Amino acid sequence: MRFLFVDRILELSRGEFVRGVKHIGPQDPYLCYDQQGKLCFIPSLVGEALGQLAAWNVMEANGFSMRPVAGIASCARLIRPTYVGETLLLESFIDRLDDTVVQYHSVASVGSEVVFTLDGALGPLLPMDDFIDRSLVTQQFNDINNPGEWPPLALDIRDTLPDNFVPNLVPFVFDSIIASEPGVGLSAEMKCNPLAPYFPDHFPRKPVLPMTVLLESKINLAREFLELSSFSKQYKVHELRKIKMKDFILPGDVVTCHLTIKSHEENKLVLNFRSEVAGKLVCVLDLIMVLS
């Protein structure tokens, strides 16, 4: 099951800008249901697609000798889900690039509607050979690098799902809640299954848990926390802030995540997440929720 999300690169200006598309089809393996029960692309994976798009630009610029890995993002705003039948227009703007790090920001749109933004993304560059064979990654790039315009009509297609359609869902969730204090916080555990479908592409020589899989699991954990807490108001995910991946999470690792309320105002709830592997901090972020 592929974990590569740019269907086609439409335009690439080396070290500056890259534009591509991703169509969400019913056969897409990474679907979930939104809060209204409508089938959509897993929201955090829009961020993955934008990160991969920026990475294609960076890797092409350095002759596929180095690759960026997930590091830091100031803010990822999830404006609305992307539904089956829609096509995401992905744009990444490289703000700074040297031989150690890339800094970029990105936007995903459906038609003229912005659905996801990513700001202040920083990705350290690491040797490609540690992660994937250079000829393979070059081939993957050549397969999708097809400059030109996406047929405008394709942007308006809305695939219809058959009545008896059963999606093949890959849930991104924590395995179990190990401690819970409703209205205050909770802790949960995830065992990284080496057989998870994203490891072969992420990455062939060094499988690591994609940061976006962890983020989506945290978003789902936040929803569980809200259910357990029975707040008087309904909240929805607005944005993720101060995201930082401090270390790789490997297949077989056990991730423990601690969720606490950072602030709770009338219209806004800020949750803080700290994730650890064997007591070492591996990921931190704040999740901003607003009234739905």
Partner 1 sequence: MNVDSVYPKVREIIADVLVVDEKDVSLQKRLIADLGAESIDFLDLVFQLEKEFSIKIPRGQIEKNARGNLSEDEFEKGGVLTAEGLLSLKNYLSEIPAEHFKDNMKMNEIPMLFTVETFCKLIVAAVNEQTVTEKAV
Which residues of this chain interact with partner 1, rule CB under 8 A?
71-72, 98, 100-101, 103, 120, 122, 124, 242, 244-247, 274, 281, 284
Query: Do residues 70 and 213 make contact, with C-beta atoms less than 8 angstroms apart?
Result: no
Q: Which is nearer to partner 1, 8 or 262 (CB)?
A: 262
Q: How far is the CB of 95 from partner 1 (least distance, A)?
A: 10
Q: Which is nearer to partner 1, 87 or 117 (CB)?
A: 117
Q: How far is the CB of 90 from partner 1 (least distance, A)?
A: 23
Q: How far is the CB of 170 from partner 1 (least distance, A)?
A: 28
Q: Which is nearer to partner 1, 87 or 256 (CB)?
A: 256
Q: Which is nearer to partner 1, 114 or 284 (CB)?
A: 284
Which DSSP string corresponds to 172-210? ---SEEEEEETTTEEEEEEE--TT-TTTTTS-SSS----
Q: How far is the CB of 72 from partner 1 (least distance, A)?
A: 5
CB within 8 Å of 48: residues ≥ 6 apart: 3, 5, 210, 212
Query: Do residues 123 and 51 make contact, with C-beta atoms less than 8 angstroms apart?
Result: yes
Q: Which is nearer to partner 1, 233 or 246 (CB)?
A: 246
Per the DSSP assignment, residues forming a β-bridge with 114 are 109
What are 271's two structure tokens? Answer: 């949750």
Q: How far is the CB of 152 from partner 1 (least distance, A)?
A: 38
Q: Angle 44-61/211-229 helices, nearest 10 degrees?
A: 160
